[in-house]
Structures are given as C-alpha cells and as structure tokens.
Structure 1
Amino acid sequence: MLVPPPERAWSRQAILDWLLAQAEAPMLVGFDFSFSAPFVARGAHLPGETTTTDARALWAYVDAASNDEDLGAASFLEARRGRHFYLGAADGAKADFLHWRTCEVATEGGRKPSTVYDAIGAAQVAKASFAGMRLLHALAGRVPVWPFDPLPDRGMAVVEIYTAIAARAAGMRKGISKLRDAVALDTALAAVGSRPHAPLSAYDDHSTDAILAAAWLRASVGRADLWQPAAMTNDVAATEGWTFGVP
C-alpha cells in the first residue's frame, strides 16, 4: 500500500519528518537515488574542489553549499555546471562528465543509464541524488544509513535501491519494467511473494515502482549475500556506498 501524503504531495521535508517519527519502527526504507558521487576511480567526489574522504562529509558539503527550498540542490549543480556537471551542450562534451561508482558499473552487468554528474534528460539522476544527500545528512546520527552505518538491532534502516532490480526479481524483462495496471502489479507482487496491493486511484510508474520495490525489499532483507557484496570493500562502502541488491 501507499502511505498518503500529509498534504497534496510528499515534500522532501515531509518525508524527513515522517522518517524521524517512525525511526523506532522495524522498517527497511529504500530510496532510488545515488547516495554518493564516484570517488574510487579519481580519488575525489568533485576533483579539484572537494577534499571529502567519505560520503558523510560529501553530504555535509552539499548541504552547506545549497540554499534551495525543501532540501533541494539545483543551485549546487547549476553553480558547478561545465566543471563537474553536464547540463547541456554549452558545458562541453558529455562524455567528459561520465564517471560511475563501483556499484553502478556492477549493476546488471553494465553501467546504470546515467551518473550523478549528468544533469540533463529524462534519465538523469543528478538532481534527485544531490537533493537526497541533503536529506541523508539530516538523518545522520538519527537513522542508520547502510552501508555507511552498521545495521541496527532494532528500528529503521535506510538503503539505496534501483527499482529495475525489483522488476527483474519479479520476472520482468530488461527494458520492460513499468507496471501500469492493477493486474500487472499484482502479478509482479506475487512473483516476489507478496499479497495483492491495496487498489490505487491511478496507476503511474512512481506508485507501482514504490509498491513493488517495497515488497521486494521485504522479501530480500534476509539475504546475507545482498548485505555483503563481493566488490564492496571498506573504502568503497565509506566513500561511495552501494545499491542494495547489486551482488
């Protein structure tokens, strides 16, 4: 089921408030944005600018340099376009901005479609990711965020997810991962061991992705291999993080 927003739609601040209010609940929360920027390949999150040596320091840096409403980070990217972020042809060759994290290279045997330095187009994840880092910074010390924090004995934990992984687990073919009706959603839910969903007033990709990903998280939380991926070294975990579900 979907949790209804306190007002017309969920804001980032409302999500933060809800998470903090539920922090003692036995809950695994998945966010579909990158929890950090690449570090391992170039030895810096924003080469020539940052001296951050772990993801938490990057979150604090982004938060301090962003004054956007509702934990946004659009101004952070705009101020660094052409230097770190690609926002259009005026910034140079797009290929010069394409750098991936270790887990992104490992995803489904190939790179994810975009990187946190590519901030243009429908597939871009940059704006959501850097805004999300501000939310993660606000959670620091109050809700554990994996793999930067150890998993708690009780209460909430937050992980990074990629909804296409849940779709693959439900038997959906690569390139066909969107559910747009009740029957298709319930079929996918059954494939990951879940009961049918509570009916929705409208079936859009965001809603169905959220429901299927939540069901998949519930089914996968006990898999030790997903918590200990082979390529996630201590350095990778601290500087770049990892997407839960990438082996």
Structure 2
Amino acid sequence: MRPDRFRHFAAIDWSGAAGERHAGIAVAICEAGNAAPKIVRPGHRWSRPEVAAWIEHQMPAETLVGLDISGSLAFADAGAFFPGWPSSPDDARGLWALVERLCADDPHLGAASFVDHPEIARHYRRHGGREGDLFGGGTGRLRLTERIGQAALGCRPTSNFNLVGASQVGKASLTAMRVLHRLDDKLALWPFDPLPDHGSVAVEIYTTIAAIAAGRSAGRSKLRSFAELNAALGALDSKPVRGRGPIDDHRSDALLAAAWLRTVAHAPQFWSPDALTPGIARTEGWTFGAL
C-alpha cells in the first residue's frame, strides 16, 4: 500500500438508541501528519441519516472512516446467521438488505422491527426476560473477529445477539447495518469489499483497540478528561486537542480512534489478518485492528 494512500482519517462513535438525534453519536476527523483530530460539527446532535449523508456527500475524498459498530452477525460457528430458518441470508449484504426490508417503517433508521420478527426473535436475548429458545445461553454467539481477534487483545466482546445490559452493542449494530446498506456501492466497505487502490474506505472499528494502542488497558479504555485524552493522543504521536476538564467518552472515543487510524492505516498486517478468509469476509466481516 502506498504511504499516502489515505489523506484523511475519520472515526464515528455510534448509537442504536431510540429517537431521532443522539448525544451518543460523535464524528471526528484528522489529516495525514500529526495535527490534532477535530470533532465534526461540534455541539451538533447527529441523526443516523445525517451521518450516512455526511459519509456519502461531505466526507473528504480519500478518507479511511471507522464506524464503532459490528458490521454483521456470527455465521461461521453455525454455518448461518439464523440456523434452521430457510430464509436466513447467505452473506452480510443479504443480512443488511433483510434488516432494511423488515425495518422500512421504523423511523430514524431504527431496527426494532427486525428483532420482533418471530423467527429472528428466537435467536436474541431481549429485555423483560425474553430469551429466544435458539439464543444458546451464556454470553451468546460471537463472530470470529470477536472470539480470536478482539479477545487476543484482552477485550471482552459482547454478542450482537444479546440486547440486554449497558455493554450490549446489538442495537447499534443493527441500526448501522441500515447505514451500510445505504452506503453500499458509494464507497468500499472493507472487508466485504477488497481494499481498492483509491477512494474512501469504511471499516468497522472497536474503540477499545485504539485505547489499548495508546497505552490504556481494556478495562481503562474510556477517557473522560482532556488530560487523559491528550496523554493518549501523545502516545499515538498526535498533537493535543484544546480543552480542559471533563469530556464525554463519545467524543473522546471518536477523537482517539481517528488518530489511531492514522497510525495504522498503512500497515499491511491490519488489512490481512491471518484468520480473515474470503468466506469470513463475505459473511461476518472483521474488526479493523483485531489481529
């Protein structure tokens, strides 16, 4: 890969919460070099459709953009997203299309209708003690990138089939799949698409990996002060951001992840993890930086 393959690096902290606009969504970007990352539209409360529109229409050319989501569901462990259901999609793009079709009437790119589907609900753990008979118990099913790549870093991944608890990521990932469906053919979505020679590329990120790269432990990955954030940015050879006192971890996650992407984007090993086969790329996807 050319050292100058990407000119900008963006990171998006995502939210699957109900409603139109979300304090939990933050967008940050930085240029090649070591300039401090910046929040895009500071003070703005983003909606999910606005983020999709920004990526498609306003994001600078030749940007590597990371979304803090899971781009797919577990497939390899059972040979299907929803084993035993004849209508289970064959690949991630089919899954995105299914989420979009079932949730077409859900406002604000929500995804509640997806897990309300009687066959799909059997695979999920939901609030109110509702655990589908095919959930499988325990922590739930994990993708290979979660079982191998993230775990190797000391992370404790959460199953996308678990929609209960503060650490659950399933709701956010389902809503993000509607965004991926909209962005398909607008830019490369790695690893569902191969890395192209030019143009912007979107990848799945896990902001804890960025924090670990900056010297934090998985259990101390959240940065809640400008002092902590700037110390982490310094470990990634980035200039500090302006500010004093507390900062919410949505903004700090996005700022740090943008700077981290800048440090690792041109390293070949991040684009070719040993366990990332063509079949895994097509069905489960991968977390960028999980080796």
TM-score of the two chains, using structure 2 as the length reference: 0.79
Where does residue 71 of structure 1 map in the other structure? 109
Moved more, 142-151 or 72-81: 72-81
For the Cα contact (< 8 Å) 1:77–1:127, is it kept in 2? no
Which digits, 9 at most, give the CA deviation of each residue in 1:108-137, with x for residues without a partner? 326743111000110111100111111000
- Residues 111 and 47 of structure 1: is their aligned pair in 2 closer, same or farther, counting only changes over 3 Å? farther
Where does residue 57 of structure 2 map in the other structure? 21
SS in structure 1 of the partner of residue 99 of structure 2 = helix
RMSD: 2.1
Matched AA of 2:90:
T
Which of 179, 185, 192 in structure 2 is aligned with 1:135?
A: 179
The whole-number CA distance in structure 2 between the counterparts of 1:131 and 1:105 is 23
- Residues 82 and 60 of structure 1: is their aligned pair in 2 closer, same or farther, counting only changes over 3 Å? closer
Which of 101, 105, 108 in structure 1 is aligned with 2:151?
A: 108
For the Cα contact (< 8 Å) 1:29–1:157, is it kept in 2? yes
Matched AA of 1:169:
A
- Residues 170 and 239 of structure 1: is their aligned pair in 2 closer, same or farther, counting only changes over 3 Å? same
Where does residue 212 of structure 1 map in the other structure? 256
1:224 shift after superposition:
0.5
The whole-number CA distance in structure 1 between the counterparts of 2:231 and 2:289 is 21
- Residues 57 and 14 of structure 1: is their aligned pair in 2 closer, same or farther, counting only changes over 3 Å? same
For the Cα contact (< 8 Å) 2:145–2:290, is it kept in 1? yes
Structure with more of its chain in helix, by fraction: 1
1:84 shift after superposition:
1.4
Which digits, 9 at most, give the CA deviation of each residue in 1:59-111, with x for residues without a partner? 00110011211111022123357501101323268752710100000113267
Where does residue 213 of structure 2 map in the other structure? 169
1:24 shift after superposition:
5.9
Matched AA of 2:131:
D
SS in structure 1 of the partner of residue 203 of structure 2 = strand
Matches within 5 A, 1:1-247: 1-4=38-41, 8-22=44-58, 25-49=61-85, 50-66=87-103, 67-80=105-118, 82-88=121-127, 89-91=129-131, 96=137, 98-106=140-148, 107-109=150-152, 112-199=156-243, 203-247=247-291
Matched AA of 1:73:
A
The whole-number CA distance in structure 2 between the counterparts of 1:63 and 1:196 is 40
- Residues 57 and 23 of structure 1: is their aligned pair in 2 closer, same or farther, counting only changes over 3 Å? farther
For the Cα contact (< 8 Å) 1:24–1:155, is it kept in 2? no
1:53 shift after superposition:
1.5
For the Cα contact (< 8 Å) 2:227–2:244, is it kept in 1? no
The whole-number CA distance in structure 2 between the counterparts of 1:44 and 1:111 is 25
Identity of aligned residues (%): 43
The whole-number CA distance in structure 1 between the counterparts of 2:106 and 2:159 is 22
Where does residue 18 of structure 2 map in the other structure? none
1:221 shift after superposition:
0.1
1:40 shift after superposition:
0.8
1:48 shift after superposition:
2.8
- Residues 147 and 74 of structure 1: is their aligned pair in 2 closer, same or farther, counting only changes over 3 Å? same
TM-score of the two chains, using structure 1 as the length reference: 0.92
Alignment: residue pair count: 246
Moved more, 70-79 or 226-235: 70-79
Segments of structure 2 that go 5 or more residues without pairing to the other structure are 1-37
SS in structure 1 of the partner of residue 166 of structure 2 = coil
SS in structure 1 of the partner of residue 66 of structure 2 = strand
Matched AA of 1:186:
N
- Residues 176 and 235 of structure 1: is their aligned pair in 2 closer, same or farther, counting only changes over 3 Å? same
SS in structure 1 of the partner of residue 162 of structure 2 = coil
